[in-house]
Structure 1
Amino acid sequence: MPNAYGKFYDFCRDTGSLHSTLPVCNLFYESPSRGGQGFGGCNLRGISIGDERLANLGSIIIAFIAILVTLVLLWRSERKKAAVGRREMQIFLIGYIIIEICEIFTIGWFPLRGDIRIAFTAVHIATIVADLWILMMNGAVGYQLIDDGTPLSLGLVFGSAAALFVGTGYIALDMGYSWTNYWAKDELLNKPNQAYAMYTLYQLVPLVFLVIFFILETVLVLRVLGETRPMIFLVAAGLLFAIGQVFQYVISPYICNGTDGAINGGLFETFFTLLAVVTIWIFWSSITEDDWPMPPSGGSTYT
């Protein structure tokens, strides 16, 4: 099985040879970040900057735009004084900004030393896991089992996300720097680019968090609020995210070969993920009140 559980080789090959647009690929021995010769797929040409090469300018530009757009969403969220889960949503947006900053250096391939790129990759992967956990927790916050915005609510959201961040980040760093070789032992046993823990954390766990978020929000909107219109935004967000993943994992080599290495699917994955995040924010905004001068003393703050 070429894509057996835990194996990344085909994914890394299809998202770029020397300059893969899948951040986890920076942790494997074939990656130039670790002195390797690449994965054998279509390579991004990029542009020259002095003696260095900027391999993925398109993703860097879109990541920068994503940071600016998210800052606007943070500001808009701050103005929604009465909205349920306002602080929790802001934590999610801050996590997304960190992801996009890391993306500039990990899949944008902004010129860096290999060991520094590995550090950015570890932060990138750890933040993806933690931020999707935060998104899932945002879905749970909507049921107001615990008052949103309180130290208890924020502590649970941030504290649990921090634990996931530290654990995932350590495993990624251990793989990239070969501190113990425990998490990369499959590679050492003649199983190149195979890492069960990282496959679980990077490929499966975020998907589980995302599915749970959509289920929680669907039940909330349809059963608790009795509305249907907000589902348009929720479904749109899911479709936009899925389209981005299709570009990343399926269409990328065809785009790269068709443009002679000018771009690949990573650029479109960044763009559609940004659209998905904006649409999730619009969905959240559509089910919360934002026109009270101060939070009410009791009762629901849903529209």
Structure 2
Amino acid sequence: MVLFKFQFFKFDGICQTVALTLCPLMGKFDGIEPMCYSRNVEFAGLLVFQPATLMMDLGAICMTSIMIYHVKTKYTAVGRKEIAMFFQLYLATIFLEMLLVTNIIPTASILYPFFTAAHIGLLSACFWCLMLNGFVGFQFAEDGTPISLWSIRISSLVIFLTVGFIAMATFNNVGPFNYTSPTALWIIYFIANGFMFFIYTVSQIILVAYTLDDRWPLGDIVFGTLFFVSGLVVMFIFSVALCEQVKHYLDGLFFGSMFNLLAVMMVYKYWDSITKEDLEFSIDSKHQAWEIQGLLHDEEIKVGK
């Protein structure tokens, strides 16, 4: 049995394997359906697609919110605000994906192409932001400064709008873009996003190897890369086989979401491991500040007497 029919510059084979958000808008006017997909369930009168993926996405939203909170509490950590942008973009991407793949926004809705274009744009902006975060540790621009923050914000917005426009043009057959041969969108979705992830990974290996004394963070990079690649392999190669083996209760989309979450968690763990000393300094400084405030308060009481 052929598990995966790969085609350059077309989503046909991929969409026959796994139900990506753009598949209902690709290939032909009524989209492309996967050969095997997760069972649907009815909840409160609403037909919910991909219920297992829905639960995984809800878990991912909770975990990402926790990571964002912990990032924001590391007040003196290098690249704190920059890496928080990446997690916020990932959070928005997962939220949109959850709405689209679960039929909360039905494929028949006139809003579906707009939300799908936004989802694809956010996905590329997420990879772009991650890549730029890879350069923060080299201090080309001091982290936390307006030039560092706004360069990431503005460029990520440009990527989001550009990719979103290309997606909408592809869905509606505008100009050179069309859904039967979505070359530009395919290149962005796979090659451009993959290249940005590759640049981030290489930059962090160089950062650890040449600027840090500790080599343990390399393990976080390796595991993060393995999780990310494993998610792609399971989604795009073994989705149909897994779906058939588990009697349509799960498919590759569930495992892809799970592995992607694990990869993002390893990004957090890696960042946390290389900024651990900053956290200790932050705790010490706050403790010292409270001690100073206490001494000043005691002096004021003595003077008052």
Instruction: Report if the CA contact (8 A) 2:42-2:48 is conserved.
Output: yes
Q: Is the 8 A contact 1:70 1:93 kept in 2?
A: yes
Q: Kindly indicate whether the alpha-carbon contact (under 8 Å) linking 1:82 and 1:295 is maintained by their aligned counterparts in 2.
A: no
1:240 aligns with 2:240: no
Aligned residues: 278
Bigger fraction of residues in helix? 2
The alignment status of 1:168 with 2:166, answered yes or no, reads no
Aligned to 1:5: 8
Q: Secondary structure at the match of 2:127?
A: helix
Q: CA distance change for structure 1 residues 46 and 160 in 2, over 3 Å: closer, same or farther?
A: same
Tell me, which stretches of 5 or more residues in structure 1 are unaligned?
A: 297-303
Q: Determine if the alignment matches structure 1 residue 109 to structure 2 residue 68.
A: no
1:10-21 to structure 2, matched below 5 A, reads 10-15=13-18, 20=19
2:137 is aligned with 1:138: no
- Structure 1: distance between partners of 2:260 and 2:58: 13
Deviation at residue 295 of structure 1 after TM alignment: 12
CA distance in 2, matches of 1:260, 1:117: 29
1:82–1:294 CA contact under 8 A, matched in 2: no
1:74 is aligned, of 68, 75, 83, to: 68
Correspondent of 1:64 among 48, 58, 65: 58
Match among 165, 180, 186 for residue 199 of structure 1:
186
One-letter amino acid matched to 1:282: K
Match of 2:116 in 1: 121
Contact 2:37 2:248 in 1 (8 A): yes
Q: Deviations over 1:166-212 (max 9, x none)?
A: 0000111122244x25310xx5xxxx3x2110001111111000000
Alignment correspondent of 1:300: none
- Rounded to whole Å, the distance in 2 between the matches of 1:119 and 1:266 is 21
Q: Aligned Cα RMSD in Å? A: 2.0
Unaligned runs of 5+ in 2: 286-305
Q: Which structure has the greater CA radius of gyration?
A: 2
Preserved contact between residue 26 and residue 118 of structure 1 (Cα < 8 Å): no
CA contact (8 A) 1:63 1:270 kept: yes
State the distance in 1 between where 2:152 and 2:283 align. Answer: 24
Structure 1 contact 130–164 (Cα < 8 Å) conserved? yes
Cα distance change of structure 1 residues 260 and 47 upon mapping to structure 2, 3 Å threshold: same
Alpha-carbon separation, structure 2, partners of 1:295 and 1:86: 18
**C-alpha separation in 2, matches of 1:51 and 1:181:** 40
Instruction: Give the C-alpha shift of residue 51 in structure 1.
Output: 5.6
> Identity of counterpart residues, as a percentage?
26
Following TM superposition, the consecutive aligned residue runs of length 4 or more in structure 1 with deviations greater than 6 angstroms are none
